[in-house]
Structures are given as C-alpha cells and as structure tokens.
Amino acid sequence: MAQEAGKIDPMSQFEVTTLFGQEWEVLGYAIPFTNSAAWMAATLVALWLFMLGGMKRELIPGRWQMAVEGVTGFISDMVDANIGPKGKRYVPYIFSLFMFILVANMLGMLPTAIFGVKAFTVTSHLTVTGVLAMATFAIVLLVGFGTHGIKFFKLFIPAGTPLVMIPMIFLIELISFLVRPFSLAVRLFVAMTAGHVLLKVLAGFVINAGSAGAVTAAAVSLPSFVLMIGISLLELLIAFIQAYVFALLASSYLNDAINLH
C-alpha cells in the first residue's frame, strides 16, 4: 500500500511494475515480466487446475467434477439460448472468455498482501479488457463475412426500413456496431477499477483514523471497516456479473453475425 505522509494513493494498486528488476531481450526487444503478466499467468494456471481437476469423467462425479460440469452447462445453455444450435462451435470461446474474466476478477480480490504479495486485478487495465473485446469483435467479423459474405451488411438495415431512410439507418447501425468493442472493454474496466479504488479509499480511512485516537477510530475506522466488508462481498458479486455480461454480450454479437438479427 503506497503511503506518504499519512496519505494513501488508491491508484497505486494499478501500477504495472517490472518483476525481478530486469528485462529479457527477445529478438532485439526488451521484454519485461511485469506484475500484470504474472497475474495473468496465475489466472491461466488456476483455470487449468480447475479444469484438470474436474475432467476426470467419473461415473459418480465428485464435487469438483460437478462444479466444472455446472459451469460448462451454464455457458452452453446461455449460448444455445442466444444463438441456437449453430452456436455450439463457439461454446469453447465463450466459456474461455467467461472463466478467464471471472478467475482474474476473483484473484484480484485475494488478500495476498498479508504474505507480502500485492494482488493485481488485470481486468482493471483497459489494455487487457480491450484485447479481449477486440478479439471478440474480430471473431464476429470473421464469422459474419465468412457466413454471409457481402450480405452481412444487411445487419445494418432492419427489415421494413423505408427506402428513403436506409442511408441514415445504415449509418446509425454501423456506428452502433463499431462502438461495441469499446463498450465491452470500458464496461469491465470501469466496474473493476471503481470497486478497487473505493476499497482502497476505505482502507485509508481505517488505517489513518485508527492511528488518530480511540474516538476517531470508533467514529471513522470501525464504520469504514464494516463498509469494506460489505463492499468486498458486493465486489465478489460484481466479479461474476461482469464476467457473465461480457460473455452474454459476446454470444449476442455472435448471434447477430450468424443469424443477422
């Protein structure tokens, strides 16, 4: 926790720093291994372990296998409801999106600072959420043009549009379509950043007011600490909701590309 003259910087938790104090040179380029990269790697490892432990295919599934099957069934049902039978081939991608965002959000909530390791929420950086959004948008374009060719542009002209209004409606729908990756990236980024900033501010109240005397501690620190607990629980819910919304919108955009709806 960054602290200077009794002040706590709530934005310091988002600072990307180079680990091990060095950079690796790859093909003439200096490649640093940052805390962001480390937590993304931790996310992938945690996700791999979750899937590995739940894919034993036992006749009588244990709790771990039931958890994995429950999540995969949940995503499969969501894709089927949004896209239909044609969406089955995209379940692995939507599942990967959902699980990566969910696990990354959850890992960022861990109190690892107790052990001297600062948790880092990779989804609080627009570069990460932007890459996920652009990858999804690229897949939507590939699927749309690959399936329908030039007819994909019919997506921007709703059925029954009067001839005289087609240019204006086409432009409005096109702009709305192009804004999708931006809205996807910003929604997740803002939600995770805002929650973590609020928690850091409350932590500052708890620490600073706690050292200012018993009266101040009772009036400020204790209520702030109780509020921190409540917001932490809310953040866990938001971590799931944001992963679900991202996956839901991705499947909805794929539905537009496949079915031109």
**pLDDT tens digits for 7-60?**
667 777 788 888 876 666 667 677 788 888 899 999 999 999 988 877 777 667
Tens-digit pLDDT profile for residues 229-245: 888 899 999 999 999 99
What is the pTM assigned to this prediction? 0.87
Tens-digit pLDDT profile for residues 156-166: 888 788 888 88
How many structural domains does the chain have? 1
Q: Which domain holds residue 43?
A: 3-259
Q: Do 53 and 164 contact (CB within 8 A), yes or no? A: no
- Measure the N-to-C terminal CA separation of the chain; round to a whole number of Å: 49
